[in-house]
A and B are shown apart, each in its own frame.
Chain A
């Protein structure tokens, strides 16, 4: 079974629109960590955020914000006022503290196209 699901394969928006990337995860562990990575056209995977399972506070970093809801097992990522430079593939990942130490489960990624 897929531990991390990113149902949106590809999203296209026009610059300045807000966009939310969905991430749903599955785990039996009570302690776990969630991550988002960005993969721009250059190919490198860039770390964006790490959130532990005990911290459900939403986080905002500039135009980026993350909404973590344990009740729905979701960790969604919103880009406000999108820009062309936000065009990339975004990956959500899960790491379980107990069962697979330090192993990441990546989602299949969501490709975001921001058009001028």
Chain B
């Protein structure tokens, strides 16, 4: 049963520290998405990639956030420096990339910035 995996599942850090979240998309999927979920804002799209190229990162605060896909099996989301307002659950999702496809979500990384 293919699944999207994310690490770490939980992260507690102090303000100012760098945070790196990792995602392994489903094998064969060529579209990857990063979302942030908070009670106030709901699900927000931060960035998405197709064939490892960033297609849209307009939802991401550029000064502190960065997203990359070093290879087809790994996507990363970094926050540097982290702030308390970044506390949220960060989801990665992947899709086959053949159009308006279903996105399959990972379990999320719960980030707490103190």
Contact = CB atoms under 8 A, between A and B. Distances in A.
A54 B108 CA distance: 33
A91 interface: yes
Q: SS class of chain B's interface: helix, strand, loop or mixed?
A: strand
Contacts of A44: 105-108
Contact of B91 (A45, A47, A52): A45
Contacts of B52: none
A97 interface: yes
Contact of B103 (A52, A96, A97, A104): A104
Chain B interface residue count: which class? 20 to 34
B14 interface: no
A58 interface: no
Interface of B: 31, 33, 42-43, 45, 48, 50, 55-56, 89, 91, 93, 95, 97, 99-108, 110
Q: Name the 4 nearest CB pairs between A and B, nearest first.
A: A45-B105, A95-B100, A33-B100, A106-B43
22 contacts: A35-B102, A37-B105, A43-B108, A44-B107, A47-B102, A47-B103, A47-B105, A50-B102, A52-B100, A91-B43, A95-B100, A97-B100, A102-B50, A102-B95, A102-B97, A102-B99, A102-B101, A103-B45, A103-B56, A104-B45, A108-B42, A109-B42
Interface of A: 31-33, 35, 37, 42-47, 50, 52, 91, 95-97, 101-104, 106, 108-109
